[in-house]
């Protein structure tokens, strides 16, 4: 689905637009800058007039159950509210984000004015692991006054375009700042033409996606990476409680382990595999219950892949001393190594031994890929373990059930997006 200046276009119409895209952008730039208040006002209108039933139906068609869909809508309403957006602007850009600040540099006899301005034009290359995420990326570009070009992921279910159309309906001036194209990433000719008019390319995705775009982006265009990250849980003996285990299981069940903040696996503070097996026996029924209450909507193809991978794990486990603990629609795979990797997903997590004394050496090699840790430990262990985890490269530590919950002011992968989408300019004053 293609969206240009508030209208849905077919492929032929998009090609015509692409041929004159630079001129369209220059025309918009010549009209002045987009005010953050305009964007915030539009978002607030959308929140107050949102047709929840319509979006629940759309999400149901995408395999998202009603309970999870309602949670997504609540999070959307909170994130798009005037109060949240104003708070976020101040947290990420400072109280004077919309002001020109004048000061006298130390040891100089002239004054300087400082101002936060948009980078200009952003190309958002969205990932397909979260429906609606592409629209949020564009919103961040709008808040910072940028013109935004969105390349939709192949599996996008249409929610992003719906949300962007709602914004344009609420504030028609935004139409000139939003372009959406559904070109394939393999369509190099069209992608390079999109890149050529931008000031920065924002890539959401794994190493392959980032590497592919890095090769296409010329030196005078900025690359902003939001790469795929891995999250996990760390559990000590003092942290094994019914409530804590339920929180871990809830994250696995709610997210399907598809988000960067989802639990892929669990490290247990031990070097004894018998204690790992004991943990698996204790956690499996908790996970089984949460999965049963919120069954993961995986297609036939995905279920077949999961079954094949579990069968392969069983065969390999004979030689590697790994062990699989099966539930009704979930599993835990106990490994003897300390490797960090993604899970089979959809309710299937790994469990590995990792002593506190080995955390830094074992996890540090993955420093650029770590994101969130669900920490289950005793109160006296929290500070020490948190400090170690941050040294490994982890950027967020919280309870298991809160690992994938967003809140106003939360950094993304340890950085504030709005800062990355702006520049600070200085003008010498008389």
* Mean pLDDT for the stretch of residues 202-220: 90
State how beta strands 101-103 and 111-118 pair: antiparallel
Q: Do domains 2-228+413-429 and 230-402 have the same CATH topology?
A: no
Coil, helix or strand at residue 415: strand
Token representation of residue 321: 């001393």
Residues 6+ apart with CB under 8 A from 361: none
- Rg for the chain, CA atoms, rounded: 24
* Cβ–Cβ < 8 Å for 372, 255: no
Cα 82 to chain center, whole Å?
Answer: 22
What pLDDT shows up at residue 304? 58
pLDDT beyond 70 at 72? yes
Q: Given a cut of 80, is residue 430 above it in pLDDT?
A: no
pLDDT band at 302; cut points 50, 70, 90: low
Does the pLDDT at position 132 exceed 90?
A: no
Q: pTM of the predicted model, to two decimals?
A: 0.86
Range of weakest confidence among 127-131, 195-199, 292-296: 127-131
pLDDT surpassing 70 at residue 114: yes
Average pLDDT over residues 386-411: 94
Kindly report the CATH number that applies to the domain delimited by 2-228+413-429.
3.40.605.10
pLDDT digit string (tens) for 179-206? 999 998 889 999 999 999 999 999 998 8
Nearest to 414 by CA among 382, 370, 379: 370
Q: Tell me the per-residue pLDDT of 233-252, one tens digit each, with 9 for 90 and over.
A: 999 999 999 999 999 999 99
pLDDT at 152 over 80: yes
> Quick one: pLDDT at residue 130?
63
When the pLDDT of each residue in the chain is averaged and rounded to a whole number, the result is 90
Collapsed DSSP state (helix, strand, coil) of residue 178: strand
Q: Where along the chain do its domains lie?
A: 2-228+413-429, 230-402
Contact criterion met (CB below 8 Å) for 180 and 9 = no
Which segments of 175-266 does DSSP mark as H helices, in order?
188-196, 207-216, 242-255
pLDDT tier for residue 52 given thresholds of 50, 70 and 90: confident
Cβ neighbourhood burial of 344 (10 Å; 0-12, 13-18, 19+)? buried
Please identify, in words, the CATH class of the domain defined by 230-402.
alpha beta
- Strands ordered across the beta sheet of 370-376: 323-326, 331-334, 348-353, 263-268, 230-235, 370-376, 396-398
The pLDDT of residue 262: 95
Query: Which pair of tokens denotes residue 406?
Result: 């967003």
What span, in angstroms and rounded, lies between the C-alpha atoms of 205 and 229? 9
In terms of pLDDT, which residue wins out, 14 or 386?
A: 386
């Amino acid at each position: 689905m293609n969206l240009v200046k508030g209208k849905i276009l077919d492929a032929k119409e998009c090609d015509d637009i692409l041929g004159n895209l630079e001129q369209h952008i220059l025309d918009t730039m010549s009209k002045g800058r987009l005010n953050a208040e305009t964007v915030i006002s539009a978002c607030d209108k959308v929140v107050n007039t949102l047709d929840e039933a319509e979006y629940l139906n759309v999400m149901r068609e995408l395999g998202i159950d009603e309970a999870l869909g309602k949670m997504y809508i609540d999070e959307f309403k909170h994130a798009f509210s005037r109060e949240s957006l104003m708070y976020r602007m101040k947290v990420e850009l400072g109280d004077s984000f919309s002001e020109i600040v004048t000061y006298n540099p130390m040891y100089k006899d002239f004054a300087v004015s400082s101002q936060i301005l948009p980078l200009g034009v952003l190309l958002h290359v969205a990932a397909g692991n979260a429906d609606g995420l592409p629209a949020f990326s564009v919103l961040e570009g709008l808040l910072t006054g940028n013109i935004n070009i969105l390349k939709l992921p192949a599996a996008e279910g249409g929610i992003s375009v719906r949300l962007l159309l709602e914004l344009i309906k609420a504030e028609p001036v935004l139409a000139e700042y939003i372009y959406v194209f559904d070109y394939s990433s393999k369509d190099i000719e069209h992608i390079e033409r999109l890149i050529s008019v931008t000031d920065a390319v924002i890539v959401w995705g794994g190493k392959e996606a980032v590497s592919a775009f890095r090769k296409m982006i010329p030196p005078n265009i900025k690359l902003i990476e939001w790469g795929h990250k891995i999250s996990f849980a760390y559990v000590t003996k003092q942290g094994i409680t019914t409530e804590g285990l339920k929180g871990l299981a809830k994250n696995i069940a709610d997210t399907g382990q598809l988000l960067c903040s989802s639990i892929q696996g669990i490290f247990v503070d031990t070097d004894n595999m018998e204690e790992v097996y004991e943990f698996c026996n204790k956690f499996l029924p908790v996970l089984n219950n949460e999965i049963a209450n919120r069954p993961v909507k995986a297609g036939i193809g995905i279920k077949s892949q999961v079954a094949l991978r579990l069968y392969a794990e069983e065969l390999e486990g004979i030689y590697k001393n790994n062990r699989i603990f099966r539930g009704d629609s979930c599993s835990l795979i106990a490994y003897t190594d300390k490797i960090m990797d993604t899970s089979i997903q959809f309710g299937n997590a790994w469990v590995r031994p990792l002593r506190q004394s080995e955390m830094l050496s074992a996890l540090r090699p993955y420093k650029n890929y770590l994101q969130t840790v669900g920490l289950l430990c005793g109160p006296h262990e929290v500070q020490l373990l948190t400090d170690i985890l941050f040294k490994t490269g982890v950027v967020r530590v919280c309870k298991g059930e809160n690992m994938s919950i967003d809140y106003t002011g939360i950094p993304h992968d340890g950085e504030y997006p709005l800062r990355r989408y702006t520049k600070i300019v200085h003008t010498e004053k008389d």
